[in-house]
Amino acid sequence: MILNHLKIILLSCLIVVKCLDVDPAKTKVFGLGLHPEKAVYPVRYFFIEAYDSAGIRLNHSVGEKAFSVQVEGDVDSGTYCRVWVQVLDRYDGSYIVRYRTYQTCHNMRINVLYLSQHVSDSPYKISEPVYPESCYCPEGTLEEWLTVAGCPASVPQVEEDLAPFPAVHFSEVLREAKDRYYRPAARSFCHYVVKTNEIYRHCYGQHVDFKMFMDNMLLSMARKMVLPDTEFIINLGDWPLVEKKQLPPIPVFSWCGSDDTADIVLPTYDITETTLEMMGRHDHNTCHLFGCSELVTPLSPLVLWDSPIEAAGLLARWGERVTLDMLSVQSNNAVPWSKKKPIAFWRGRDSRQERLDLISLARDHPDLFNVSLTNFFFFRDQEEQYGPKQKHVSFFEFFNYKYQINIDGTVAAYRLGYLLGGTGVVLKQDSSYYEHFYKQLKPNVHYLPFKRDLSDLVQKIEWARANDDAVLAMSKAGRQFVLENLMPKDIFCYHAVLLQKWSQRLTEKVVIRPGMDHVAREDNEKRFGSCQCHRLLGHDEL
């Protein structure tokens, strides 16, 4: 009896000690989501870092539900505004809090609680109106928005890409682009015009569905800022268009660049669209039907497409599991580093010879690899040799393994940012292709490089196994890179800086050309009422 009583006392003490691990007053809360009135994003987000009573930063999860966050406010009708909140555990003592507003919220209050106690400076009170993503309420000019949002004055990749084009006579560019690239069955591109903050376009080619991604980003930006009058061409295909050997080069925006081309690189349509649709209408509506733990967007890399060609076939499909984006990828896998399998993992389709070579290499070293092809398209005649194809695996389950292989598809594999944001370490193939952020990455700091022909991949995996602490540090550096460079704010800033710098180079007056389609913006959802932008008072709400 006495022994049982002592056990209860001991257990109670352990629970108290566990609770005292976190000091709500010393715990830090920070991020742009605490100032939602300053700049509108589809999703606002901020961070919690747990500290103990000695002021020491905790480096372990204190529980997925340790922190609760409430975002409250009201609308003019006197009812509560609709806000959807998620708290994402990063399993290192830090948490991402993200929320999406669906109405204009007044008198917003953000409560951050740990065991019913307010954390840090909670509650956070916002006196100005907080607008939803759908609200047309420009902050001011693009330059004014850049200042409010705290964007960098310049971006090295943008400066490098625009350097060959100090002055652009766009009529000549458009004429030359049509001469070089108008091959309807093989290539597709669109000419966009922004005039008085309205969007217009004319597309060339048979396969132009991917115009939706540029449409969506421009419309989102135009709701937040007054864009400069501008025009540009965007390539809708897999491969960069502007070969350096063909002179003179002409300026074309693309989602991927290469060492042999001179395209002006944008963030990929994938990372851009997941930024716009994060906690969006698809997720929210499906949440009420199926529950948020069983979701995926049709563009999610959970199904591991590598290019517009493959993704086009998935646009109408909904998948099975958690929606993947640059915030959710940092959560949703609680397997600690010490419990992850020290094996190199990869899934994907047959879009490059080296992917087939990877299968052969893995068969020679089954103790080092878990790799499989999930679809055959380019090498269907070799399926018997390199198959059988395997079912898709949830992207979050990739991180049950320590080593994540990133290998080119038709061009750069658009999963690299997501792999860096996860809890493994990336082994990246040397490649001539790149996304907008690749040149900021440092080999052997953010990822472990291996040769294009895979000849040293086995050696690199064996090195990783023998240097676990160094590899863990590399994994953490990759995650930190994502926090500093690939968050929603960073994607908007990159687009805004590029449009600003590009527009300054145009030498002609921008006009709406004959045959262009107007890309109309959608009205604010009627069920949520008018967004009532205070900046448009005295004017018709457009």
CATH number at residue 124: 2.60.40.10
The residues pairing with 373 across neighbouring beta strands, listed in sequence order, are: 348
Are both 28 and 77 inside the same structural domain? yes
Question: How many angstroms separate the CA atoms of 142 and 224, rounded?
Answer: 9
Domain boundary residue among 92, 111, 136? 136
Are both 153 and 129 inside the same structural domain? no
Is 338 a domain residue? yes
Cα 251–Cα 252–Cα 256 angle in degrees, nearest 5? 125
How big is the chain, counted in residues?
Answer: 542
Residue identified by tokens 């909670």 is 122
39: DSSP letter: S
Are both 480 and 332 inside the same structural domain? yes
pLDDT of residue 281: 55
Alpha-carbon dihedral 290, 304, 181, 163, rounded to 10 degrees: 100
Question: How many angstroms separate the CA atoms of 54 and 473, rounded?
Answer: 25
Number of structural domains, the chain? 3
Which stretches in the chain have pLDDT values below 70?
Answer: 1-20, 77, 281-322, 378, 383, 523-527, 529, 537-542
Are both 113 and 154 inside the same structural domain? no
355 within 8 A of 407, measured Cβ to Cβ: yes
pLDDT of residue 309: 39
Retrieve residue 410's tokens: 């038709």
Is 309 a domain residue? no
Is 78 a domain residue? yes
Are both 381 and 232 inside the same structural domain? no
- 428-451 pLDDT, tens per residue? 999 999 999 999 999 999 999 999
Is 525 a domain residue? no
pLDDT of residue 526: 62
Phi/psi class of residue 487: alpha, beta or left (left: φ > 0; alpha: ψ in -120 to 50)? beta
The pTM for the full model equals: 0.89
Are both 50 and 157 inside the same structural domain? no
Are both 377 and 335 inside the same structural domain? yes
- 377: domain CATH number is 3.40.50.2000
pLDDT of residue 77: 65
Are both 240 and 355 inside the same structural domain? no
Report which of 412, 529, 435 is spatially closest to residue 481, judged by C-alpha positions.
435
Are both 34 and 67 inside the same structural domain? yes
Question: How many angstroms separate the CA atoms of 71 and 103, rounded?
Answer: 13
Is 176 a domain residue? yes
Is 255 a domain residue? yes
Are both 109 and 158 inside the same structural domain? no
pLDDT of residue 28: 98
Are both 211 and 78 inside the same structural domain? no
Is 300 a domain residue? no
- Find the domain containing 476 and state its range: 328-486
The DSSP line for 359-371 is HHHHHH-TTTEEE
Are both 126 and 42 inside the same structural domain? yes
Domain boundary residue among 136, 167, 191? 136
Is 66 a domain residue? yes
Domain boundary residue among 112, 136, 160? 136
pLDDT of residue 375: 84
